Structure 1
């Protein structure tokens, strides 16, 4: 177990590529709700037969319905049948739904996934089952997107793109330790290479290095994505199967950490032209790198964050606080002997006393709580941001999204991809501010772009590099 993995998993259980990045562009999920009933306003509940079976623990009827009904459908409170099964501790229903590939990377109206609810309930076997299914579905999703992605890359011209990341925070002490990074992206045919110096980044600590991510579209799926550590001259293939021990260790950390949800709400977002000048105001237009750009103010961008800890003991809370204090001072988890201990299942919460009718008839946003009594802290923060749009930039938004989808294993690149998926003003976003954590924003600047050709060797693993499957355990 490495310090890097402990840092990334321990920090308030931040959403990762495995459990679903909760900072979606509008708080929406990747798993679309299946066709079915709709909620009519709190007095006349729609009919959700699969949800009702799960709520009442009717495994036999669920088994019959599951073949014809959409098991990824959300009810009026945003819960899928899997959410209900986990919150109510209906293990047979949960395992039956998982066996039929019920979506795990999906959030309810409060921003919680079935995995988050399983951590709250505290049944270790259920947490493990959901985590494994989540990883399996994540791999399947990548493979499903692969043909479309390769087609888009093939149709795109070959180019070199350079972009800079500068991180800022309104927390004074934090600002001094925040990183910046210059990323270089090379694209040729269906191959992409990303060079970066930022290995890992949380809202408390960054890790420097010299990395290259290489995507080889001609290679077999299991060998198409590798990361090179150019300092240690080792490489690791990404999307490798985790060992039993790695999964068990991850479950231990999930069970002993805060459950964290963050939703970037863009429902009320608007863009207004930025102004310049004191007496005579005019629209702000400036050059960003080599490109003339119109500047806009981004209004109505709100980050809603929630943190739960009803599953934690006082000892857990004190231990986590000590870990964060150690990290903030530059400490190393391994040196501090912060290895997780094997966690046992918690005592189940009291049996549910709410009826199906009470649950489904409840007003939107006021769903009766199911499961362990909540211990939740909520906060909202409004972000002020600017964005510079250029009509001169040679690359289009859709092309950028295809490239970013390849390199999305970087958490901060995933935030950039989500942000530019919004309906932006005309042009290409050559400079933009995006929130990456509740206390941190990043300014991303596209410094250089040119169509070019490269030696094919830059998309291959150097002969003197050795394979190290555990170099980057979070990838």
Structure 2
């Protein structure tokens, strides 16, 4: 009886982790082949077996886990992915292996995910709605010059079409145009169309059910891609959801205050504040050589907005054993397996893995929500699947998905404000539901007559819009458009050119407030974009850019903002200006560049 009440040993509780810890490849392989264990189980320190293998430097164990399907995209308790952790080891072989499997898994997940989403969408009622995105900032000048766009969403059966006009950033101008993204479920497959209405070109992709695994070798990253990661800081961004609180906004004067209610596009909504919203950016540099860090310092960009306002709380930390000589660099604190797997043991600042060098920036936001209880759309059945479709390729929709999947108060978020990056917010408003406010071609409003009693008890009849009918032709390729891409292989579309651009952009935005000096060999942002653009037209499949929904608008707006800001510091002046001249020039240049960045082509 006493024996049965004893706590199971770590080896029994975490069998896969235990084999990884002891680098027992033979036992691990046997366990994986039995398919009896959960490869994504998290140990007491928040790591999956794959994260543990990478942190311990057990490369063969990591490879075996990846071959058996361990998730390379999953984050650990500190919001680092397997690729982040692999990069921080400084091991090029490990980085190449993890990156290859991560891209393979992304491709497979998208191949499985879109048909499943379309099937889910098919079961929901048809609708038309417009989502207006307004980008704002707490920084003076920037807020009123941020772009906006309206996404028009059509849904009929298992077909979805999303129209947009804000395409991206081209040199010094915001790029406007007319694009449609169409998702159609067909027999045993799904079709994705990107329709460029200006060029009258359609990029077509057919996603079929995979009956055999694609060739993993096609996704093997080049040595240049691996080297680029190993010579750049590792960065993760996330919204801290632990401290978020939702509370009703009050209206009125003192003594007569009540819960605030506002009308948004004809619907009465309760207004909430989401307080303690923290947008966190963490950067790690322990894998960088002294030369890499020196190069980073050369490339730091002077950001006048950051110097004027102090954009975020900043905290730098090093592991206690960072820089010290260790017998085992992957276990510098000499933690035993029994200590590691015992959740009651407080390891304090002790941990496994290469000693970390981390910089954390925290930007606090106060988000606002307007929630309606009788909105005609349902969040879970109709709207979330659409957001899921767009989140696969749009950073903005990913941020929206992260926020609205929180435990929000009851009601449909007709208007919601969320942080996008630590300098920008986005306000999303739903409107023109069922095209009831403004007529939309090929969308027919469906009205019903309702009977009710008025205040005097008299029966009255009221005509209300209840739904709409979306014509099938909305989802067709327009006559005269040229279709390309049909039947080609699209594995190369999931390479991570966008990740590299995002790394560069955030690196620039996190630079300390020091003037940059142009040195031979330095790569500025414009040159980086040109380099990636050249690679995107390379005939080699592994270096070809993503065509489908890979515009600069989907990279991130901080990239675009920092590009404009950087341009304002690239004109050298041999005479030392006075402080007054400096302040006036800075203000004039900032206004000029931000205004120029929003001029439409």
Deviations 1:382-441 (A, max 9, x none): 321110011231001112112211222211112212222222222210001111112221
Aligned residues: 413
TM-score (norm 2): 0.61
Mapping of 1:349-428 within 5 angstroms? Answer: 350=329, 352-353=331-332, 354=334, 355-361=336-342, 363=345, 366=348, 368-398=350-380, 399-408=382-391, 409-428=393-412
Contact 1:78/1:107 (<8 A) preserved: no
Q: Pick from 453, 461, 475 the counterpart of residue 459 of structure 1.
A: 475
Mapping of 1:202-351 within 5 angstroms? Answer: 208-218=176-186, 221=189, 224-237=191-204, 247-248=221-222, 250-279=225-254, 280-313=256-289, 315-317=291-293, 325=301, 350=329
Query: 1:192 & 1:230 partners in 2: Cα distance?
Result: 17
In the alignment, structure 1 residue 140 sits paired with structure 2 residue 104: no
Query: 1:263 & 1:357 partners in 2: Cα distance?
Result: 32
Distance apart, 1:295 and its partner CA: 0.6
Higher helix proportion: 2
Q: Gaps spanning 5+ residues in structure 1: where?
A: 1-39, 330-348
Q: Cα distance 1:129–1:111, how it changes in 2: closer, same or farther (>3 A)?
A: same
Query: 2:350 & 2:173 partners in 1: Cα distance?
Result: 38
Contact 1:77/1:364 (<8 A) preserved: no
Contact 1:290/1:448 (<8 A) preserved: no
Contact 2:159/2:182 (<8 A) preserved: yes
Which residue in 2 is equivalent to 1:125? Answer: 93
Query: 1:357 & 1:60 partners in 2: Cα distance?
Result: 21
Deviations 1:122-168 (A, max 9, x none): 22232222222223323333444456533432222222110111112
Deviations 1:343-393 (A, max 9, x none): xxxxxx945453323433474674733333311101333321110011231
SS at match of 1:407: helix
SS at match of 2:271: strand
Which residue in 1 is equivalent to 2:76? Answer: 108
Which residue in 2 is equivalent to 1:48? Answer: 14
In the alignment, structure 1 residue 74 sits paired with structure 2 residue 36: no
Which residue in 1 is equivalent to 2:452? Answer: none
Query: 2:10 & 2:367 partners in 1: Cα distance?
Result: 42
Larger mean Cα displacement after TM superposition, 148-157 or 287-296: 148-157
Which residue in 1 is equivalent to 2:29? Answer: 63
SS at match of 2:350: coil
Contact 1:109/1:365 (<8 A) preserved: no
Work out which of the two has the higher radius of gyration on C-alpha atoms and give 1 or 2. Answer: 2
Query: 1:197 & 1:117 partners in 2: Cα distance?
Result: 38
Which residue in 2 is equivalent to 1:443? Answer: 427
Mapping of 1:162-173 within 5 angstroms? Answer: 162-172=130-140
Query: 1:365 & 1:292 partners in 2: Cα distance?
Result: 52
TM-score (norm 1): 0.76
Q: Cα distance 1:260–1:99, how it changes in 2: closer, same or farther (>3 A)?
A: same
Contact 2:103/2:219 (<8 A) preserved: no
Deviations 1:94-117 (A, max 9, x none): 111111101112111111111100
Larger mean Cα displacement after TM superposition, 181-190 or 138-147: 138-147
Query: 1:422 & 1:98 partners in 2: Cα distance?
Result: 30
Query: 1:239 & 1:311 partners in 2: Cα distance?
Result: 40
Q: Cα distance 1:327–1:382, how it changes in 2: closer, same or farther (>3 A)?
A: closer
Contact 1:430/1:446 (<8 A) preserved: yes
Larger mean Cα displacement after TM superposition, 88-97 or 207-216: 207-216
Which residue in 1 is equivalent to 2:547? Answer: 472
Contact 2:115/2:185 (<8 A) preserved: no
* Structure 1 vs Structure 2 CA RMSD: 3.5
